[in-house]
Amino acid sequence: MDFGLQDTVALVVDSHLAIATATATALAKEGAILSLTAPDNYRMRHVEMEIARKHVPQDRFRAVIADLDREQDIHRLVRETLHRQGNISVMVTTVQDQGNSPASELEDEQIEPALARNFMSAVHLTREVLPHMRRYGMGRIINLVPFSAMEVSPHNTLSSLSLAPVLAYFKGLASELAPNNITVNNVIYAGVHSEEIDDPQHPPGSDEPDASDGAEQAQTCTQSTLEKIVAEAPMKRMGTPKEIGDIVCMIASSQASYLTGANIIVDGGIHHNYA
- β-pairing, 139-146 vs 182-189, is parallel
pLDDT of the chain along its 275 residues, tens only?
688 899 999 999 999 999 999 999 999 999 999 999 999 999 999 999 999 998 999 899 999 999 999 999 999 999 999 999 999 999 999 988 877 777 878 888 888 988 999 999 999 999 999 999 999 999 999 999 999 888 887 778 888 898 999 999 999 999 999 999 999 999 999 888 875 544 444 444 444 444 444 444 434 447 787 788 788 888 888 899 999 999 999 999 999 999 999 999 999 988 877 65
- What is the model's pLDDT at position 220? 45
List 159's β-bridge partners, or say none. none
pTM above 0.85, yes or no: yes
Where are the domains positioned within the chain? Answer: 9-266
Which residues are CB-contacts of 167 (< 8 A; sequence separation ≥ 6)? Answer: 145, 149, 150, 186, 263
Protein fold of 9-266? Rossmann fold (3.40.50)
- What is the model's pLDDT at position 103? 82
